[in-house]
Amino acid sequence: MKIVVCAKQTFDTEAVIALTADGQVNATGITLIIDPYSEFAVEQAIQMKEKDGGEVIVLTIGNAGAQSAIRHALAMGADSGVLVDDPAIAGGDSLATALILAKALEKLNPDIILGGFKSSDIAGAQVLPRVSSILNLPNVNVATHLEWADGKAQVTRELDDGVEIIEVALPAIIGAQQGLAEPRYPSVKGIMQSKKKPINTWTLADIGVDAGAVGAGAAKTKVVQYTLKEARKGGRIIEGEVPDVTKEVVQLTRTEAKVI
């Protein structure tokens, strides 16, 4: 089975995000990692390969720096990587991302496609559904469990009140939710082997995407600005004798916190 995982590189989930004066995310000094949702998908793909054989290809859009996300997946056990890197891509929205992935996937012609159902940074959850409509493939998202056999997959999806089990014919696009597969730590051996595994870089021309169809010019949505959530205010300490303090606290729960 040929498994392609669409994986994204993102900010370290523990990084403290700061904004520039014009409301854009300040990326300087922030460590980039493979997106956690993509990582669930990579782990699932490797487990499928370990069980039934086949190959796992990691597909990423980004500049040369995004190779480290692919390398991480290769160190976990994926076989090869494809990086779509083209200056024309900059500034595009999820429509363009989906188009590029769809065209690269057509070229790779996989038996199953996995990815994060959303990413931990932008969390638009748009890319895989858009890819599936471009390629006219079934798409099941928020997957927490996956069984596969005889050209079919059974996907368990998380709902608010329970789970839903869906059967789809393959090839299909499955979006990973946390719980699908617990990502392994790459081992030293995996890390050393990863440097011998190929990462192919494709331009837009390589996958037949017109530069005018992607990038800032083609974007149908535009992020105006980001604003950070207000930091939590520190608590207030009310000092004094216990009876007085109690009285004041009860008072404040009505007048200030307005909880009773």
Partner 1 sequence: MYQFNEEEQMILSMVDDICTDIIMPRAQEIDIQDEFPWDIHQVLAEQGIFSLCFAEEYGGAGVGLHCWLKMMEKIAAVSCAVSMMIANVSLGSAPVVLFGNEEQKQKVLPELASGEAQIAFGLTEPNAGSDIGGITTTAVKKGDKYVINGNKVFITSGSVSKYFSIFAKVIGEDGSRKLSCFLAEKDMPGLVIGRNEEKMGLHGSVTTQLFFENLEVPESAIIGQIGDGYKIVFQSLNKGRLNNGAQATGLVQAALKDATIYAKGRVQFGNPISEFQAIQFMIADMEIGLQTCHLMLDNAATLFEQKSPDLMKYASATKVVCSDMANKATADAVQIFGGYGYCKEYPVERYFRDSKIFPIFEGSNQIQRGIIAKAVYKEYNE
Contact footprint for partner 1 (CB under 8 A):
68, 71-72, 75, 185-192, 194-195
Beta carbons within 8 Å of 98's beta carbon, 6+ residues apart: 126, 127, 130, 131, 134
Shortest Cβ 179–partner 1 spacing (Å)? 17
Shortest Cβ 120–partner 1 spacing (Å)? 16
Closer to partner 1 by CB, 222 or 236: give it: 236
Amino acid of residue 221: T
DSSP annotation string for 167-231: EEESS-EEEE-TTS--PPPPPHHHHHHHTTS-EEEE-HHHHT--GGGSHHHH-S-------PPPP
- Determine the Cα–Cα distance for residues 60 and 8; give it in Å rounded to an integer: 6
Shortest Cβ 76–partner 1 spacing (Å)? 10
Closer to partner 1 by CB, 154 or 193: give it: 193
Shortest Cβ 112–partner 1 spacing (Å)? 27
Shortest Cβ 66–partner 1 spacing (Å)? 14
- Determine the Cα–Cα distance for residues 30 and 10; give it in Å rounded to an integer: 10
Amino acid of residue 44: Q
Token pair 């089990």 in the structure block, residue: 165
Closer to partner 1 by CB, 141 or 194: give it: 194
Closer to partner 1 by CB, 189 or 233: give it: 189
Closer to partner 1 by CB, 30 or 213: give it: 30
